[in-house]
Amino acid sequence: MANVVVIGGGLAGLPIAYELRHLLPSEHTVTLISSESKFTFIPGLIQVALGLKPLEHVQLDLARLAQRHHLNWVPGKVTALDPQTHSITVEGEKTIEYDYVAIATGASLAFDQIPGLGPHGGYTQSVCTPDHSLTAHQAWLDLLKNPGPIVVGAAPGAGCFGPAYEFALMADHELRRRGLRDQVPITYVTPEPYAGHLGVSKVKNARELTANLMQKQGITVIENAAITAVDKHTITLDDGQQLPFNYSMVLPAFRGAKFIQAAPGLGDAKGFIPTLPTQRHPDFPNIYAAGVSIKLAQPDKTRVPIGLPKSGQMSEAMATAVAHNIAVELGAIKSPLQVPTLDALCFAEFGDTGIAYIAAPVLPDPETGKRKHSYAVRGPWVVWVKAAFEEYFMVKMRTGVGMPWFEKLGLRVIFGLQMLKPTTTNYEQTTVSP
């Protein structure tokens, strides 16, 4: 019988494993490999960094989840994947053979592209990992004792901008609550062509709502900016401008995991994995990928390079498609292959208000340049919805549920988003015998 391996226990990986276990008969093994011992709801790390919730609130123990939901748990970092021998090497020289593998590793962080960037050996903070959020929180406590300028932003090549906006505006809210805001000027620095772009152009109202909110809160915005260097108290831009800071949180550009970069033909030059619309690798028919690890090209030409965002909700849809299509390949279900639509929904929390950004799909039609839905709306309800979704998602991960039918129905009815669609196109030219 088949051994289906999932690499990564995050927002895409764990739902893939759960969906596979639900769809596949018990004689098939679902193996989960993760370098992290805990599942982390990454969007919650901003609140951890600002001291608004403990890290434990957004984490679950993967070993316990695997045991409870009948997954073969393998802790450790993948150091090599050989598509020819269908084998995976985990640190410690442990080798695992697979019939199918789903890669959902997320990304590695390219702090090394800019001197002085990052919390390890650099001078800026990050909210990309649990460890980073704890380091960022300690630096935040130091700032509260010694108030001074804050610089928040993203490095050239970054594709995830929502957390930077959230951090800047939530920090603003917290400082006002503490009576310290007049001592802490805040600057937002971004490679985006305009505030509110977020890596996705032509979203109705996004530019106006975002820029107006930043202006209202007194946050200085520097657009089309490339950070070139960071020292202990100064960020330098490519135009020579220098920004002093007592605290800085800058999101880095992403790369694919090292083992992807090391496997010939598996990924592109940056280690991102090309996929067919079914999430299957075009050259290796028993390799699938989902989430941040896949290759999605940014269609916009911008002065400073930016990536295309892959939201958590997009990752969920990809994860569901991966599990469904592997189950079809194994003959466990008789159903058309599924394709994620890449409809994107982002709830951005900004203190006592928020903005929901909708781009359906995130990539516009190549012929018309249009989307089915594309708009942004603002209100305090966004904060409530985001908090409710976090609790809902954590319940799903505790109970072993991927993307249930009522979640798909709710997204379609409320926001007009269709997460998946069946396809009759024969993308899969090669069959795999487990």
Q: Could you list the active site residues?
A: 160, 346
For the residues of 407-432, what is the DSSP string, one character each? HHHHHHHHH----EEEE-S----S--
Nearest to 294 by CA among 97, 420, 311: 311
| Element containing residue 33 per DSSP (H, E) | strand 29-34
At 107, list the tokens: 């990304």
**Residue 231 neighbours by CB distance under 10 Å:** 12
| Interatomic CA distance for residues 131 and 137, integer angstroms | 10
**Residue 372 neighbours by CB distance under 10 Å:** 15
Question: What one-letter code names the amino acid at 310?
Answer: K
List beta partners, residue 334.
none
Residue with tokens 């999430």: 279
List beta partners, residue 121.
none
Instruction: Report whether 426 contacts 369 (CB < 8 A).
Output: no
Distances (CA, A) of 74 to 96, 257, 283, 420: 10, 18, 27, 30
Question: What one-letter code names the amino acid at 376?
Answer: A
- Residues in contact with 407: Cβ distance below 8 Å, sequence separation at least 6, in sequence order: none
Q: Phi and psi for 145 in degrees, rounded to 5? A: -80, -30
Helix (H, G, I), strand (E, B) or coil at 142: helix
| Interatomic CA distance for residues 38 and 16, integer angstroms | 16
- Residues in contact with 395: Cβ distance below 8 Å, sequence separation at least 6, in sequence order: none
Distances (CA, A) of 73 to 3, 37, 286, 415, 426: 12, 10, 21, 36, 34
**What is the pairing mode between strands 247-251 and 242-244?**
unpaired
Distances (CA, A) of 407 to 199, 402, 413: 26, 10, 10
At 327, list the tokens: 């189950």
